[in-house]
Amino acid sequence: MHLTVVGSTARVHGAVQVPNSKYHAHRALILASLAPGTSRISGLSDARHVQYTVGVLRALGVDVEVDGDTFVVHGGRYRPRRERVSVGSSGSTLYFMTGLAALADRDVVLTGQKYFQRRPIGPLLRALSEMGVDAASPTDCPPLRIRHGRPAGGVVHIAGTLSQWISALLLVAPFARAHTTVIVDGPFNERSYVDLTVRMMTTFGLDVTVSPDGRRFDIAPDQSPHPVDLTLPPDIGSAAFGLAVAALRPADVLLTGLDSIDPVVVDHPEAEFLRIAREMGLPMVVDAAAGGVRVQHDGLRLQPVEVDCRLVPDMLPILSAMAAVADGESVFHDVEHVRLKESDRVTSMLQLNAMGGDVDFDGTDLRVRGVSRLRGEHLSSFNDHRVLMSLAVAASAASGRSTLTFPNAYRISYPQFLDAMTELHADMQIEKGPARPTARRRPPAGTADQAAQVTGAEWIRRWAQERPYGLALVDAAPDRTGRMTWSELDQSVDKAAALFLELGVEPGDRVAVQLPNCAGFVVIAAAAARIGAVICPIMPIFREREVAFALKRSRAKLVVVADNFRGRQHDHELADILAGPAASDLSVTDVLVMHLTPGVAHVLPPCENPDVRWYAWHRASAWAKADRAVLDARTPRPDDDAQLLFTSGTSGEPKGVLHTHASLSRAAWMEIEQLPLNSTDSVYIPSPLAHQTGFLYGMWLAWALGVPAIVQRAWNGRRALEVLEEWEGTFVQAATPFLTDLVREVEAGAPRPRALRIFVATGAAVPRALAERATRVLGAAVCGAFGTTETGLAALSTPGDPAGKAWGTDGRALRDVQLRIVDDEGRPVSPGAEGNFELSGPTVFRGYLDRPDLSAEAFAADGWYRTGDLARIDDDGYLRITGRVRDVINRGGEKVPVSEIEQLLYRHEAVDDVAIVAMPDERLGERACAFVVLAAGHRLSFTRMQQYLDENRVSKSYWPERLEVVDELPRNAVGKVQKFLLREQAATLKPQRLKTLTDTDKEGPLDDQHPGHDRRTWKPNRTA
């Protein structure tokens, strides 16, 4: 188990009750147990430390009752009920009771939790021995054998290292047979805790005389305390965590139970924390009407402080967490004794460095230099409650997800901590399973055939049962990040599925969805799968024409659309479609509008079509009632249709492709086996979920593997690196432009994502020079692949392949997939020869929706799928796509190797991107035209391009005969170059003069008026 904390910059808000002081409770209970009569201690403390003290007292024969919020203690002589008495894991209980156990009427053995066997207590044992208490251990650690008998008294020396040692001597001294003097030697740490002990002893009628310098305590013998009724004050040590989380994030927080922020007035040994917090700039005010202290601000940068930790030793962890993001260097002096607590708290807090902090320890002082923001990390709490809570508070304001070991340690001192943080809207929860597996595991047992029997939503149901608290989904918006566990995702899917049923969606009905990458898309896709409906994704970039086409062709009954995304009102555009001339051809009866823009009023658009009902998603889903039995009864069969996806339309009208649950699950599992992926991975999804790369090899693959799916709403390279780092993305499948942007950002100075291990480049051939560069810059394996909407992946390289094969080819056939190269007559070509690429496999679709003509063209007579690509397969079985059949340039009977020339030009320092297409020619039929995007700060002339090709010994007949410099190449949303648009442009152009290498200007100055430098700006295509 571990504590998961999701960082945020969102406002923390709410009210929490500050618990009662555990320091007062320990002392009051112990003193009441020794006072003949009945004491009432109001303000019940349920800290486990205090419960351990209660348990020890009861084991020693003391009657301790609980009456509402009051401890009722009937004090008197200790009469142990058993020989062995456990102090649990409370250090205070151990130290205080070691001497007091001698007052029992028989010998006892004090034990504790296992790690207490390493807790050094020798200095206290020797001081007790000076007082005449026989408490011994051969290791100077528990278990301790304590002989019964009153102490003799005398002069006792004790080091001032730990306050509990001094308090332990003071508590037992009044019961000695002779006068006792306790003298503190050396540096006196934690004096405020000793002062509290003296005050509490005085409250119970015990006399302790303290010297002016506070180092000598004189205690008269044979004293007897009297019973007392008292109320425990609020615990500043617990309040500190609420105040700290309110300091690290914008806040409107009320801590009830505190009535002062003046450390002189507040009765608590850690009251000095209030002064330090004010010095750091925390705006605390007493709100008498609300009965507490309020912190309210819109974000602040704390100020550095200098702190003597002898005054507030237990506050070091939380203060260092606050100082980690302060504006300057904070110094914590005299921290050595803090290393003797439940853990070495000084070195424990050096883990802030793993979170991007800047912390040093020189043996005496801890120095914390503030940074702008911490990042998520896997951390250890060392089973220390203060360390756990302090690092959790730091992580709550960090970027990304953090995990902490020993998640229940907080119960020792502040059992309400997790509830309080939840009440303040800090995202923390305990999850089962390891926080970070130490070894990679193989994929879950199973085969592709077995995976094919699992439908989409059944994957989610499975993981919700096996790992309900495991992370399932991360929704990375530009300005915030949401998350869902498998249990939460499963419940949301049930609710959405129930809503679809209430709206009349039946098995086989199409549900269209036009949403960006977000949690809503994932929930809707799974909800459709749960009840046997077919999800029909529509790209968010599509406008009215494309959306109307998809709705008409799909015959969708229900549409889910965003209200506003990236400045476009998708709901208004849909309203226009449903009220326009094409409305009669549509089957839409219901529209659900999902609100994606927090802080903006959500108003449904007016729609003139009375036959279509409109609902706000959040309202409609609120009234849907999920009946698990009803939903499970509609679970589809594996061979039922699950997805209707339209091709990207790079070559014409989009075509509808139907896939079943079986083909999608099988396709995902085939990639899992080929790479291989395993249960320690996290799948980062920048590709649109409305495209097969994001849908199948992002979302569905994560479902099948049972690992987190990390979806990013709007592409931005810098944000992508943040998300990959914060959420430990290990696997990405996306097109070349996504890889290019990541590489550029890292080369520009951004840290590379440490967990990323595999990037599968799809959609178009990745330039080999880019793949080699990306492997070096990102530190991840770049793997080539080939796949289509119609077939899923057919070929894929792996990280274990030789580098040149991994990123220099499109991989080898996946299991159960067959590849072949044939000539124009369908005859196999010789190995290594170029030809038409065809494939056969278990994930190939059955045909295009409502287009039997196109379906017939797509399949050869023997059923193999014609990809429309030219390719070669080498002797080792690696596939290399050389171009599209329709992209072939036939120059006077000579075929230009387009892909090879593009790869070569891409390596030129002036070329940032390149695409070559055919340009009509009356004499030769076609010539090559190169469209080039220049690298920043570079130029390229037509002549310079010729010279470069000549230097690389390229046949002159393959040289492009025109150079067009453009701002960008037209691509669709998944990165494929829309070459048909380039061909349309090239059809209006003429060849440039083919210069010989003896031309005098081949080395001359760049000619900015050269026709090849007419820049053309491509607008994103909206019609194909």
Q: Which residues are annotated as a binding site for phosphoenolpyruvate?
A: 22, 91, 119, 164, 345, 386
Tokens of 527: 């909800």
Which H or E element spans position 758? strand 758-762
One-letter amino acid at 635 equals T
Annotated binding site for 3-phosphoshikimate, which residues? 22, 27, 163-164, 314, 341
d(CA 708, CA 725): 14
Residue count of the chain, please give it: 1024
Q: Which amino acid is at 281?
A: G
Asked if 731 contacts 697 with a C-beta cutoff of 8 angstroms, the reply is no
The letter for the amino acid at 481 is T
d(CA 783, CA 808): 8
Distances from the Cα of 379 to the Cαs of 2, 201, 351, 571, 757, in angstroms?
10, 40, 7, 44, 22
Q: Please, are residues 254 and 15 in contact by the beta-carbon 8 Å criterion? A: yes
CB 279 within 8 A of CB 305: yes
Give the Cα separation of 618 and 616 in Å (integer). Answer: 6
CA distance linking residue 131 with residue 123, whole number of Å: 13
Helix (H, G, I), strand (E, B) or coil at 734: strand
List all residues 6 or more positions away from 42 whose beta carbon is below 8 Å from its beta carbon. Answer: 69, 70, 229, 230, 231, 232
As annotated, the binding site includes: 22, 27, 91, 119, 163-164, 314, 341, 345, 386
Omega prior to 233 cis, within 30 of 0: no
User: DSSP assignment of 306-342, as one string?
Assistant: EEETTTSGGGHHHHHHHHTTSSSEEEEE--GGGGGSS
State the distance between the two ends of the chain, measured CA to CA, in whole angstroms: 50
Q: How far apart are CA 792 and CA 786, in angstroms?
A: 8
CA-based radius of gyration for the chain:
36
Which segments of 261-391 are extended strands (E)? 284-287, 292-297, 306-308, 329-333, 358-361, 366-369, 378-379
875 catalytic residue (yes or no): no
Q: Any idea what DSSP says for residue 292?
A: E
Residue pair 634/612 in contact by the 8 Å Cβ criterion:
no
* DSSP per-residue string spanning 21-87: PHHHHHHHHHHHHHSSEEEEEES----HHHHHHHHHHHHTT-EEEEETTEEEEEE-----SSSEEE-
> Which residue type does 298 have?
D
Q: How far apart are CA 251 and CA 260, in angstroms?
A: 19
The answer for residues whose C-beta is within 8 angstroms of residue 291's C-beta and 6 or more apart is: 256, 257, 259
As to burial, measured by CB atoms within 10 angstroms (0-12 exposed, 13-18 middle, 19+ buried), residue 165 is buried
Instruction: Name, in order, each residue with C-beta under 8 angstroms of 466's C-beta and a sequence gap of 6 or more.
Output: 706
- Residue that is written with structure tokens 């002081």 in the block: 21
Q: Which residue has the tokens 């005050």?
A: 199
Q: What is the DSSP letter of 992?
A: P
Q: How many CB atoms sit inside 10 A of residue 680's CB?
A: 17
Residue 656 has phi, psi (to 5 degrees) of -80, 125
One-letter amino acid for residue 155 of the chain: V
690's tokens: 């409305």
In terms of Cβ atoms closer than 10 Å to its own Cβ (0-12, 13-18, 19+), residue 897 is buried
H or E stretch covering 13? strand 12-17
Catalytic residue among 235, 314, 475, 571: 314
Q: How far is CA 420 from the centre of its chain?
A: 22
Active site residues: 314
